[in-house]
Amino acid sequence: MAGTEVKLTNRDGSSTAITHFQASEESNTVIVIFPAMGIFASYYENLGSELAKNGFHAITADLRGNGKSSIRPSKKVDFGYAGQLDQEYTTVLNHVEAEFPDKRVLLLGHSLGGQLGCLMASRKTHKIDGLMLVACCSVYYKGWDGMARIRTLFGTQFLGLVSSIMGYLPGKQVGFGGLEARTVIKDWSRQARNGYYVLANDLTDYEAELAKLEIPVMAVSMQGDYLAPAKAVNHLLGKMKGANIEHLHLKKDDPRNDGYNHFNWAKKPTKLVGVVSEWITGLN
């Protein structure tokens, strides 16, 4: 099922585009999909199509600096988590509220897209009725065990240093992420080091605001996903003390696990969408 592209303008004058996958039947739910670090929204076309086939309006959107975003990080072009929330997240949610004023709005975030979704929901500036977090965790290094803990701490801090020196992160060259803004990596590496969401150029106390969230949250993790192990997922979920949380950890022999890893679930999403559909039905 092909989607319809809609161009949007951010309040700073930059532009982006979303793709809307129309539900196959009348639906009261809009699912907004935000990607992982370095992944373009086009990667989630199968997911958007499958959600639409299952009776949900689905919208795929890019993170700032990727895909249809007119912004590209460089030494002279920088932004952090706050910029992504202030611009693309705000622009997309404004559009959704205008186009679907009476619909339930759910954010489906993959990895970084889900972390930012949690932060956006905690701001309480937009109608967000629930969060679905897939392969999404806090990057606090203590969410890993053994040598993986050491690798996570070293890797995140090394990439933070690289981005500081170069003025941006050349993800393809270093083997992680895409072309990433210096302050995005600064925010990311800081949270990996101390466990707290303290953003550059943003005075919001996100730890306090996350604790006040009272919306339903569904998290899906997969056995063998070394980028988002269950312990690290639980560290993120633990921040949302007031939320109604369900965490489904798919073991390899679970019939709902179609050989999933951190990335491939979005390319063959049928079983994952079945899990999501069941959870959404339970919200009614």
Q: How much is the mean pLDDT over the chain?
A: 97
pLDDT per position as a tens digit, 76-100: 999 999 999 999 999 999 999 999 9
Tell me what pLDDT residue 1 has.
67
Residue 134 gets which letter from DSSP? E
Q: Per-residue confidence at 161, pLDDT binned at 50, 70, 90?
A: very high
Query: Using CA atoms, how far apart are residues 205 and 122, in angstroms rounded to an integer?
Result: 10
Q: Looking at residues 194-222, what average pLDDT do you find?
A: 98
Structure tokens given for 184: 């995005």
Percent of the chain past pLDDT 70, that is, above it, reads 100
Residue 264 has pLDDT above 90, yes or no: yes
Structure tokens given for 202: 């943003």
* Residue 194 vs residues 121, 179, 184, 185, 191: alpha-carbon distances, Å: 22, 24, 16, 14, 5
* Residue 68 vs residues 15, 61, 134: alpha-carbon distances, Å: 8, 8, 22
The owner of tokens 């109604």 is: 244
Query: Using CA atoms, how far apart are residues 191 and 37, in angstroms rounded to an integer?
Result: 15
- Give the residue among 63, 244, 234, 28 at the shortest CA–CA distance from 137: 234
pLDDT per position as a tens digit, 101-114: 999 999 999 999 99
Query: Using CA atoms, how far apart are residues 48 and 41, in angstroms rounded to an integer?
Result: 10
pLDDT per position as a tens digit, 218-240: 999 999 999 999 999 999 999 99
pLDDT per position as a tens digit, 26-39: 899 999 999 999 99
Q: Looking at residues 65-83, what average pLDDT do you find?
A: 98
More confident residue, 1 or 275: 275
Q: For 262, what's the count of Cα atoms within 13 Å in the CB-facing half-sphere?
A: 17
Q: For 86, what's the count of Cα atoms within 13 Å in the CB-facing half-sphere?
A: 15
Q: Per-residue confidence at 64, pLDDT binned at 50, 70, 90?
A: very high
Amino acid at the residue 256: R
Residue 244 has pLDDT above 70, yes or no: yes
Tell me what pLDDT residue 242 has.
97
pLDDT per position as a tens digit, 3-53: 999 999 999 999 999 999 999 788 999 999 999 999 999 999 999 999 999
What are the residue ranges of helices labelled H in the chain? 45-53, 81-84, 90-99, 112-123, 146-166, 171-174, 182-194, 206-212, 230-237, 270-283
Residue 284 has pLDDT above 80, yes or no: no
